[in-house]
Amino acid sequence: MMQRLECMRAIYDRLESCIVVTIMGAVSVELQSLGHRPNFFYLLHAMGLASSTGLGLALCRPKQRVVVFDGDGSILMNLGGFTTLARYRPKNLVHVIFDNESLLSVGGFPTATATGSDLARIATAAGVPRSTTVQTVEEFTAAFDEAVKSNELSCIVAKVEATGPKGYVTDLSMLENRFEFAGWIKKSI
């Protein structure tokens, strides 16, 4: 099974000019391990709201590409948000969901995707115009590139292994990250 870190490594270069929002836990730590950039915002709490933040950004910055790195545990807390995303379907938003079928950072308990809930189909049923499930890094990279090229709201569910880093606290302070991120967007007009 593929690793989340390998997926992010494969598209890391494409993120240089994107507005990137991630969830807490392994996604945030692993993206930082590849190299923090000022255009990356790590939402280290408020589970479920990374996708809503991406929607706000995408609607207010229609000419910039917004990428959200979400997780199964987080999106399951805001499934209604799929319907809001689908209602406005911003063309500049790519919604990546790393699905490891577990709440990894709090003991690895299985989420509902471990018992058959299919996030890509939920996205489709909510009205998200493009959604797909991928199993390999090659598929992931191709799906990401197609999503960008399609210029349509896209949801990519990447099935990944339930492994992650040893710890979840990094040297980057939350407020420093938040102000640097807002500053980068301001300058990117």
Partner 1 sequence: MPVSQTNSKIIYEALKKNGIGLVSALPETWLVHLIRMAEDDPEMILVRLAKEEEAVGISAGAHFAGVKSAMLMQNHGFLASINGIVSFAQLYRIPLLMLISHRGHFGERDPWQTQGGGVTEPLLHALGIRYDCLTDPKTVDRKIADAQTLAQSSLYPVALLLTRELMWEEQ
The nearest distance, CB 177 to partner 1, in angstroms, is 9
The tokens describing 173, both together, are 């302070």
Q: Closer to partner 1 at the Cβ: 42 or 140?
A: 42
Give Rg (Cα) of the chain: 15
Residue closer to partner 1, measured from CB, 166 or 186:
186
| Closest approach of partner 1 to the CB of residue 89, in Å | 12
Query: Cα torsion at 85, 89, 94, 96 (round to 10°)?
Result: 30
Q: Would you say 5 or 97 has its CB closer to partner 1?
A: 97
Alpha carbons 47 and 169: distance in angstroms, whole number: 16
Residue 7 or 58: the one with the smaller Cβ distance to partner 1 is 58
Nearer to partner 1, 5 or 85 (CB): 85
What is the C-alpha separation between 180 and 189, in angstroms, rounded?
15
Helix 4-11, helix 26-34: angle, nearest 10: 40
Give the interface with partner 1 as residue ranges (CB under 8 A). 19, 21, 41, 43-46, 48-61, 78, 80-81, 83-84, 87-88, 174-175, 178, 181-182, 185-186, 189
Where do runs of H (alpha helix) occur along 12-169?
26-34, 50-60, 72-75, 80-88, 119-126, 137-150
Shortest Å distance, C-beta 22 to partner 1: 13
The distance of closest approach from Cβ of residue 71 to partner 1 in the complex, given in angstroms and rounded to an integer, is 15
Write down the least CB distance from residue 99 to partner 1, Å.
20
- For the bound state, the minimum distance from the C-beta of residue 120 to partner 1, rounded and expressed in Å, comes to 19
C-alpha distances in Å from residue 178, one per residue of 5, 8, 20, 182, 185: 23, 21, 12, 6, 11
Q: Which residue's CB is nearer to partner 1, number 7 or number 19?
A: 19
